[in-house]
Amino acid sequence: TSNVTTTRDSAPLLPNVKNIIAVASGKGGVGKSTVAANLAVSLSKEGAKVGIIDADIYGPSVPTMFNCEHEQPSVKQVNGKNVIVPLEQYGVKLISIGFLTPADNAVIWRGPMASSALKQFIADTDWGELDYLIIDLPPGTSDIHLTLVQTVPVTGAVIVTTPQKVALADAQKGLAMFKQPQINVPVLGIVENMAYFTPEELPNNKYYLFGEGGGLNLSEKFDVPLLGQIPIVQSIRESGDNGYPAVMKEGITQKAFTDLAETLAR
């Protein structure tokens, strides 16, 4: 947990941010943003100072998940330079690529545009002191991933996947990308989301709707930890849509995410 400096420039970026955690996935829709949002709120509830950058150009969901779809970050001047002031919700500072696009309009992002937005979120945003800055990346491997690793030293990456064959195959590509020598970002581990379903009336039963053991197999194949298994729970979906992360309510989902946050914080 060393302080962050750029690998390229002499001027350090984010000198007061201790850990930059990339949350990535191979496929879309596996729950990457859900994990990023709940992880951020869990870490904050444990007393850490946390920020989140939503860099998912294909489906920025942080504004919805944090119930600030209709808000806009402000801009202030520091030493004659304009800096973005992140919004703050549930103890988490946040900024989203979604704030730059009209909600009801499809904006087609070219790689360089999206990359320059991410750079601004990193370099021209008033993050202050943070223990964790979580980056919700787009699915797959893209310009955004390269920009991130070339702009700041990423402490580590968390790969989110479902146990399904098609998701695992793509997660494997994401994992391999972080491990490439020119990227060289430590993979902190895999989160298997939608791992199983337990009906309320059968609390001791686990139904492996998307298959069993996929996350574990992947973690063994790449020799990285399996950080957690998050069940499919209706309230996780509802709370995401309602802008109130599931981890804020007590119950099994809260435990799944707080366990994950504790494992990562170690």
- Smallest gap from Cβ 213 to ligand ADP, in A, equals 17
Point out the annotated binding site for ATP. 26-33
Q: Which two tokens stand for residue 146?
A: 């390269």
Do 144 and 57 touch, CB atoms closer than 8 A? yes
Name the region of 73 (left: φ>0; alpha: ψ -120 to 50; beta: rest). beta
Q: Which of 33, 55, 147 is nearest to 101 (CA)?
A: 55
Nearer to ligand ADP, 25 or 258 (CB): 25
**What is residue 239's three-state secondary structure?**
helix
The interface region with ligand ADP, picked from 70-78, 116-124, 173-181, 228-236 by CB under 6 A, is: 228-236
CA max distance for the chain: 61
Single residue of 13, 39, 233, 260 touching ligand ADP by CB under 6 A: 233
Single residue of 63, 174, 240, 245 touching ligand ADP by CB under 6 A: 240
- Smallest gap from Cβ 99 to ligand ADP, in A, equals 17
142 in contact with ligand ADP (CB under 6 A): no
Do 176 and 218 touch, CB atoms closer than 8 A? no
Nearer to ligand ADP, 44 or 229 (CB): 229
The 10 Å Cβ neighbour count of residue 168 is 24
Nearer to ligand ADP, 14 or 159 (CB): 159
The interface region with ligand ADP, picked from 118-126, 205-213, 226-234, 258-266 by CB under 6 A, is: 226-234
Q: How far apart are CA 146 and CA 157, in angstroms?
A: 13
- Smallest gap from Cβ 16 to ligand ADP, in A, equals 28
Per-position b or e across 175-213, b if 16+ CB within 10 A of its CB = bebbbeeebebebbbbbbbbbbbeeeeeeeeeeeebbee
123 in contact with ligand ADP (CB under 6 A): no
19 in contact with ligand ADP (CB under 6 A): no
- Smallest gap from Cβ 265 to ligand ADP, in A, equals 21
Do 15 and 129 touch, CB atoms closer than 8 A? no
Nearer to ligand ADP, 153 or 243 (CB): 243
Q: How far apart are CA 248 and CA 75, in angstroms?
A: 29
Distances (CA, A) of 116 to 17, 204, 248: 20, 49, 33
**What is residue 2's three-state secondary structure?**
coil
Do 140 and 6 touch, CB atoms closer than 8 A? no
- Smallest gap from Cβ 13 to ligand ADP, in A, equals 26
| Binding letters toward ligand ADP, positions 188-217, x by CB under 6 A | -----xx-----------------------
Point out the annotated binding site. 26-33
Single residue of 19, 44, 61, 125 touching ligand ADP by CB under 6 A: 61
| Binding letters toward ligand ADP, positions 20-59, x by CB under 6 A | -----x--xxxxxxx------------------------x
* Interacting residues with ligand ADP (CB under 6 A): 25, 28-34, 59, 61, 193-194, 230, 232-233, 236-237, 240
